[in-house]
Structure 1
Amino acid sequence: MTEIETVTDEKWNAIIHNDVSYDGTFYYAVKTTGIFCRPSCKSRVPNKENVLVFATAEGALKRHFRPCKRCRPNGLRLPDEEWVAQITEYIDGHYHEPLTLSVLADMCHGSPYHLQRTFKKITGISPIEYIQKKRFAKAGDLLMHTDKTVMEIALTVGFPNTAHFATLFKKRTGSSPTEYRKTAGTRQGGSL
């Protein structure tokens, strides 16, 4: 089993200050993202309690952490398909939160431009389109299977503005959320 090192104050300071002089002396992995980085990585500073420290990149790989797209520890790269799978998994679990390209890029240690281009190349749609698709699929399910109000559903799927949600929902489905709910009994599992 690979030894995990202690996150000392010295190492933590190297991480939060992106100290290049510590590159090659240790690597840090973030449990919540499944990614490992060099100390000099410019990605958002993780919560200390989510950080594991390894002496080598191989140690992090053995513990099933993936190399960061931004800092490429030891020249390792995460294949695009795996990276996009990681992003979609994150979106699937957080679609109800305010998600932007910048938030996603920060989470997955890449640039917004590269994320947009790679995601679209692999999936055929943009990350924002994927988020909308996920939100509307969940909204349709809630409309068909719950008695939540349209406002509650809008908030649940990540739309703080009910009128905006209703407008986009009608544009996407051809019916308002209320009309959609009324015809739910005649619908046979159609997807949004």
Structure 2
Amino acid sequence: MAKINLSFDEMWEKIIACDRTYDGLFFTAVKTTKIYCRPSCRSRKPKKVNVEFYQDINEVEKAGYRACKRCQPEVEHTPQIDLIRKAIAFLINHYKQRVILEDIANHVGVSSFYLERLFKQETGKTPRAYLEKIRIDKAANLLQNTGLTNLEICYETGFHSTSNFYRIFRQEKQCSPSEYRRRIENELGEL
């Protein structure tokens, strides 16, 4: 399985959202219970400080964790789910580049028509919309954790047009990148 480039905070967001499209791409291990789960597990969420993430089931089991009885992360999925996992891993690892549907389809070994239909069926989004979501999540993370300008973040996250970046950011976050940064700074200032 291909390794994915997600930060701790990005993986944390995926388990809070119970995002099943990341199942099999990484596992959530809880230090206090010594149990590991899928990102989509509906069990009570642990405290953030008690969580570790692993991208390989052998690593997590070697570290002494046992599988959750509720989500059964050790049970394999269907070939279609594995195909979607590969496509998502490809998108995560190539989000900075120009990616077209044919690139993803070639990577996973199916036709672009079949991939788009299956991807939308499983995730509720087209591969393009999913890629845009990944880019916006990365941009939000950069806005929160760096001093990069909006323009720098636009290009750092794979957008090739600032107007497209601002439009999609507003669609996803219901505010502009500058408003998002101010909101985060205000929230941190109140702590």
Bucket of the pairwise TM-score, normalised by the shorter protein: 0.5 to 0.7
Residues 94-122 of structure 1, C-alpha deviations (whole Å, 9 max, x = no match): 11111121111122221110000111122
Mark the runs of 5 or more structure 1 residues left unpaired by the alignment. 1-30, 33-77
**1:187, 1:159 → 2: CA distance?**
27
State the shift of 1:124 in Å: 2.2
**1:184, 1:167 → 2: CA distance?**
20
The letter for the 2-side match of 1:148 is: L
State the shift of 1:186 in Å: 4.0
Q: How many pairs align?
A: 114
Residues 112 and 187 from structure 1, CA distance in 2 versus in 1: closer, same or farther, beyond 3 angstroms?
A: farther
Question: For the Cα contact (< 8 Å) 2:133–2:172, is it kept in 1?
Answer: no
**1:178, 1:107 → 2: CA distance?**
36
The answer to whether residue 148 in structure 2 is matched with residue 148 in structure 1 is yes
- 2:125 aligns with 125
Alignment of 1:95-174 (within 5 A): 95-174=95-174
Mark the runs of 5 or more structure 2 residues left unpaired by the alignment. 3-77
Residues 83 and 153 from structure 1, CA distance in 2 versus in 1: closer, same or farther, beyond 3 angstroms?
A: same
- 2:21 aligns with none
Following TM superposition, the consecutive aligned residue runs of length 4 or more in structure 1 with deviations greater than 2 angstroms are 185-188
Q: TM-score, normalised by structure 2?
A: 0.55
Residues 121 and 171 from structure 1, CA distance in 2 versus in 1: closer, same or farther, beyond 3 angstroms?
A: closer
**1:114, 1:187 → 2: CA distance?**
44
The answer to whether residue 164 in structure 2 is matched with residue 184 in structure 1 is no
Q: Secondary structure at the match of 1:158?
A: coil
**1:159, 1:168 → 2: CA distance?**
10
Q: Secondary structure at the match of 1:159?
A: coil
Percent identical: 30
Alignment of 1:84-95 (within 5 A): 84-95=84-95
The letter for the 2-side match of 1:136 is: I
Larger Rg: 1
Q: Secondary structure at the match of 2:97?
A: coil
**1:173, 1:148 → 2: CA distance?**
18
Residues 116 and 186 from structure 1, CA distance in 2 versus in 1: closer, same or farther, beyond 3 angstroms?
A: same
RMSD between aligned alpha carbons?
2.3
Q: TM-score, normalised by structure 1?
A: 0.54
Residues 133 and 187 from structure 1, CA distance in 2 versus in 1: closer, same or farther, beyond 3 angstroms?
A: farther
